[in-house]
Homo-oligomer: A and B are copies of this chain.
Amino acid sequence: MKIKYELIKNDGKARYGKLITNHGTFETPMFMPVGTLANVKMLTPEELKAVHSAVILSNTYHLWLRPGADIVAKAGGLHKFMNYDGPILTDSGGFQVFSLAKNKEKDITEEGVHFKSHIDGKSLFLTPEISMEIQNKLDSDIAMSFDECIPYPATYEYAKQSTERTLRWAKRGKEAFHNENQSLFGIVQGGEYTDLREFSAKETVKLGFDGYSIGGTSVGEDKKTMYKMIDDAIKYLPIDKPRYLMGVGDPIDLLEGVRRGVDMFDCVLPTRIARHANAFTHYGKINLRNAKYKEDFTPIDDCDCYTCKHYTKAYLRHLFVANEGLGGRLLSIHNIRFLIRMMEEMRNAIKEDRFLEYKEDFLKKYLG
């Protein structure tokens, strides 16, 4: 079965809806923690469920290299392999080609991309067909089209050529796709150029996908530009399909994305910053290594997560200062819960037609 999206209610452009998948239904807007290598770093599926995380993202490129798509397929797919029975979205590998391969070692042709493995420098070749084959084998609930993530800034000429090629790749990928239990999203590119975003959105929608992603954001552009990229693309996306803003997870960006009509987000941010002792709180980000928490026997935040219910800042600080891995684990739980809870609060605000009010209240506290 393909996924099914139901738009339940708008508040301005912000949307409250739900997404029905073969591995459960979740409400949107929703944040997806990242399980790069078939696990959300340090955490078990039970811990993800405990923070009401409803869907995760896993990385095609990384799983292609380790353990390999065939091993995951032999295990019975990614869900069985990693013991996770909730919905999984996989990216296409396009972003990793952009972020992990050095420019010199990357050769983009019409056929696909030649690049070098970030692990051992081995030559790799990824095409729309190969990306689909890998994702079909991983058997995620939602797969992504293979795209080129355009750097920022890029010349108009480069952005245009790349956007057109990504469209041709989307078509080829769709034709090669052959897993009836899996859904496929198209990705809108176009760089920072309004007319290219419009072109990309309209043409991608014409090809017809189960949902639409906005790509090429979070690549070094300023926030104003990112929000413009969203605006320029989202107005051409159909209201009856989910919209996914790729690689975005900063609390402020989540608010701005939802405000603009985005339904899904993913980012390594909550787990990555957790490993460096950074915690989200309603009063902004804090670093738990700070000496001022040495004797602070209160929880990180007013929060219902396992970590906040059981541990103090002083204890967490101790774990980080002593380089104990449990610190990153406990803080990952909190940071994911923080973003998941934000999404819950945003959904409630949309339901009650007070999204902008919620956003202002949140930012007032968060930015101090």
Contacts and interface: CB of A to CB of B under 8 A. Distances in A.
A325 interface: yes
A75 B38 contact: no
A33 to B, nearest CB: 13
B83 A314 contact: no
Interface in A58-89: 62, 66-67, 71, 74-75, 81-83
Interface in A20-62: 37-39, 41-44, 62
Size class of the A contact interface (CB-based, 8 Å): 35 or more
B315 A75 contact: yes
A156 interface: no
A367 interface: no
A91 to B, nearest CB: 17
Interface centre among A66, A81, A310, A322 (most CB of B within 10 A): A322
Interface string A320-337: 011011101110000000
B42 A329 contact: yes
A295 interface: yes
B83 A326 contact: no
Nearest to A38: B318
Contacts of A314: 67, 71, 75, 81
B322 A66 contact: yes
Nearest to A309: B83
Contacts of A321: 66-67
Interface centre among A318, A319, A329 (most CB of B within 10 A): A318
B75 A324 contact: no
A311 interface: yes
List the number of copies, as a whole number.
2
A297 interface: yes
Contacts of A324: 37, 39, 41
Interface string A281-316: 000000000000011010000000000001110110
Given A37-B318, A82-B315, A83-B310, A326 B43 contact: yes
Contacts of A294: 67, 71
8 nearest A-B residue pairs (beta carbon): A67-B318, A83-B310, A37-B322, A39-B326, A66-B322, A42-B325, A37-B324, A325-B325
Interface of A: 37-39, 41-44, 62, 66-67, 71, 74-75, 81-83, 294-295, 297, 310-312, 314-315, 317-319, 321-322, 324-326, 328-330
Given A67-B321, A82-B315, A325-B325, 19 more contacts: A37-B324, A42-B325, A44-B326, A62-B322, A66-B321, A66-B322, A67-B314, A67-B317, A71-B294, A71-B295, A71-B314, A74-B295, A75-B297, A75-B314, A81-B314, A81-B315, A81-B318, A83-B311, A329-B329
11 contacts: A37-B319, A41-B325, A42-B326, A66-B322, A67-B294, A67-B314, A67-B318, A71-B294, A75-B312, A81-B314, A325-B329
